[in-house]
A and B are shown apart, each in its own frame.
Chain A
Amino acid sequence: MSDGEIVVSHLAKQYRAVRAVDDLSFAVEPGRVTGFLGPNGAGKTTTLRMLLNLVTPSAGTATIGGQRYADLTDPLRRVGAVLEASSAHRARTGRNHLRAIGAAAGFPARRADQVLELVGLTPAARRKFKGYSMGMRQRLGIAAAMLGDPGVLILDEPANGLDPEGIRWMRDLLKRLADEGRTVLVSSHLLSEMQLLADDVLIIAKGKLVTHGSVSDVVDGRAHAGPVRVRTPQAEQLTAALGSAATVTTGEDGALLVSGVDAPAVGAAALRAGVELHELVAEKPDLERVFLDLTAGKADIR
């Protein structure tokens, strides 16, 4: 078993009437960014908190490198986690916040300055936390997670409140950390961002695993479902030329959506019938579409 592998096995959490996490099993590999997705209330945060010994599971186990978080000797040197953006004392400076954590873990005081440099917060190091913007708070959270130079990073919604430049910075950092062989597990709502960032995705809904695999597998696995979008002034001729194998509907913007045949077949039929085409696109489903398909009807308030 790899040092940085996260293994969740038959994990469950029962809150009074709600089964927040239900017999959930998966493994997260090092060297890759894994996106952890699910609708609101799917159990993402509860799963991460059980993994980190903050919430006691009702059943099952969660281990990091084969050990429960509670059994790690130097947890911060193994695992860095960012769970809440606002988790620092309002009246404490960013630097002192990091020093207090570092002191408990036995790191030298200069380490706080190093991680502040890493996340670009050095100019605000001696400013109080209450004066930090949302993006600065996220950066401070990442700085805290990086204190122990851990091989495993777990981040809950780290992109919340970041501006486009901040999001790009975070994406580059996480990709780089994964390239160095670290395990990076990131939960997020921003599906387009996940498509850019993640190597693997892990989708849960209602506390259960929906799908787990590389982004391309998960998206392409459903590619056949995508329709072909065609724009033509001769819609009727084209529909006739396509024959009975194709189903043609007219989209809101006047484009035709053809399903049942692929884009080359549509092009060939148009050529044979002498139909003029202005646009011919095979609509590839993106992560967002796949996610919405997979979790349809499971995003209810529980």
Chain B
Amino acid sequence: MTVTAPVDPLASPDLGRPGPAPIRLIRSEFLKLRTTNGWWLFLLGALLMLVLAILFNWLQADFAFSEGIPQDIPEDDADTFEASRSPIFQAANLYTSGQFFGLMFVMLVGIVIVTSEFQHQTATTTFLTTPHRTAVILAKLCVAALFGATLWLVSLAINVPATIGILSIYDQSSLLGEWPAQRAILLNLLAYALWGVLGVGLGVLIRSQIAATVTATVLYLIGTTAVTILVTLLQDWLGWEWIDEVQYAVPSVASTLMVSGTSLPGQPPYWVGAVILVGWAVVTGTIGTMITRRRDVS
């Protein structure tokens, strides 16, 4: 039997050489996210909604690819319907299935990454470890965006085989070689990443975890529909065509627009959606960082 001498824990420890600060911070934030159970609940929720979304989009595709246009619809709607019948439109729609709820869950993770620091009073320790608060927020933005990218990758891994399968039922090729489909998939990645940024920004603005998640979810789910309905009503009453464009300023509507395979009549081009969403992310990210820099932590 060997007896080891008791190690004095205070005897100057070997702390190693610190790596580059950004890498350290991102690792730390990633570890924080990974060591709580919030993230897999969100992932599970997103996957469940993804399956439902694929089924819903399949129904849409089935309707679009079935023979003939219904006779009793107005000419404007007939144009839209005709455009939505293009295989590339349906392919892009299917390849980006689950975006609506996926983006919401990414936003919620972004919110939780920030608000849990205040909820559990760990902000003090975080800012003691890294007094440069901008760097902390940037690391949180990165981790939220990375979570978004991961969710995008997971949904892509399910969407690709599902879409190829569904398209083949209607004797359509996968269309994966077509640029509009590739573009939709890639811009979808951008959307997933940017919604993480939006979530972090929101979390800084509303520090209470409950208030932030509830507000964001309600705004996302009801706000999106409410704006669409409001725009349609206003357009009908006032007859202003331009008012239709207003709804694309809403981040969730802009996200749908940027992953469309072909433009429907009366719809702005896809890149307008991308520009609007980047704008929102930059604004919320910047405001969030500036507030965090100034605010007292107590």
A residues neighboring B (CB under 8 Å): 45-46, 49, 52-56, 69-70, 72, 74-77, 79, 81, 83-84, 86-93, 96, 99-101, 103-108, 111, 114-115, 117-118, 144, 148-149, 176-177, 180
Contacts and interface: CB of A to CB of B under 8 A. Distances in A.
A176 B10 contact: yes
Contacts of B129: 75-76, 101, 104-105
Interface stretch (B29-37, B63-71, B212-220): B29-37
Given A69-B131, A107-B16, A55 B298 contact: yes
Contact of B125 (A111, A144, A148): A144
Contacts of B25: 104
Contacts of A108: 14-16
Contact of A100 (B18, B31, B297): B31
Interface residues of B, number: 39
A78 B36 CA distance: 29
Interface string B262-298: 0000000000000000000000000000000010111
12 contacts: A54-B127, A75-B128, A75-B131, A83-B128, A89-B35, A89-B36, A92-B36, A103-B28, A104-B25, A107-B15, A108-B14, A118-B10
B35 A100 contact: yes
B124 interface: yes
A123 to B, nearest CB: 15
A89 B128 contact: no
Contacts of B36: 89, 91-92
Nearest to B14: A108
Contacts of B126: 104
A111 B15 contact: yes
Contact of B24 (A52, A89, A96, A104): A104
A88 B24 contact: no
B12 interface: yes
A118 to B, nearest CB: 4
A101 B28 contact: yes
A180 B10 contact: yes
A183 to B, nearest CB: 15
Given A87-B121, A88-B120, A52 B128 contact: yes
Given A101-B129, A104-B129, A89 B120 contact: yes
B177 interface: no
A115 B7 CA distance: 12
Given A86-B120, A114-B9, 11 more contacts: A69-B131, A83-B124, A84-B124, A89-B36, A103-B27, A103-B31, A104-B25, A105-B24, A106-B24, A118-B10, A149-B15
Query: 4 nearest interchain CB pairs?
Result: A106-B18, A104-B28, A118-B9, A103-B28
A49 B10 contact: no
A182 B122 CA distance: 26
Contacts of A54: 124, 127-128, 296-298
Nearest to A90: B120
B15 A72 contact: no
Contact of A70 (B9, B116, B131, B297): B131
A109 to B, nearest CB: 10
Contacts of B12: 149
B130 interface: yes
Nearest to A84: B121
Contacts of B18: 74, 105-107
A54 B19 CA distance: 25
A115 B8 CA distance: 11
A255 B128 CA distance: 54
A106 B122 contact: no
A89 B124 contact: no
Contact of A117 (B9, B31, B37): B9
Nearest to B130: A104
A55 B297 contact: yes
A99 B27 CA distance: 10
A149 B12 CA distance: 7
A89 B16 contact: no
A49 B120 CA distance: 18
Contacts of A87: 120-122, 124-125
A89 B10 contact: no
Contact of A77 (B15, B19, B120, B127): B15
Nearest to B125: A87
Contacts of B37: 91
Contacts of A89: 32, 35-36, 116, 120, 122
Contacts of B32: 89, 92, 100
A95 to B, nearest CB: 9
